[in-house]
Amino acid sequence: MFEAADLRKMIDAAGVQLRAMLLLGINAGFGNADVGALPMDALDLDGGWVTFPRPKTGVMRRAALWQETVKAIKAALAKRPTPRTDAAAGLVFVTKYGIGWAKSDCDNPISKETAKLLKKLGLSRPGLNFYALRLRATTRL
């Protein structure tokens, strides 16, 4: 499990998109598939809410967003690459190649980016990955 100090280091060192993804993972309990498939219309940034069903099960979720999560999402949207496909056009997070971050196989780009960040910070160890952020969900940093 991640310690709060490690999460702060990760958030501080992450790029603009990964920072917003990390905060959604911690704040709303989102996993890789959740942030990778998150549509624009799931966000109410003025009200501070995200309403989005789990991609895997379809179970609807609604989570209040922390101010820092809203700020990070707005920063990511301000630097959002131009989508190159119709499928990516409605997504919150788009890679530098203009496609969505969601990928259903073990070659998940969100997992890879998180692993790079953990290695860079000297925090890499078995069991620590993006999906492990869900264990800290709703815990204040």
H/E element holding 43?
strand 43-44
With a cut of 70, which residues of the chain have pLDDT below it? 104-106, 135-141
Q: Which CATH superfamily is domain 4-134 in?
A: Intergrase catalytic core (1.10.443.10)
pTM (2 d.p.): 0.91
Ranges of each domain in the chain: 4-134
What strands, in cross-sheet order, belong to the sheet with 43-44? 43-44, 49-51, 62-64
How do residues 85-112 score in pLDDT, each as one tens digit?
999 999 999 999 999 998 766 678 999 9
How does DSSP assign 70-84, residue by residue?
HHHHHHHHHTPPPP-
Alpha carbon 7 to its chain's center: 13
For the CA atoms of the chain, what is the radius of gyration?
14
- Sequence length of the chain is 141
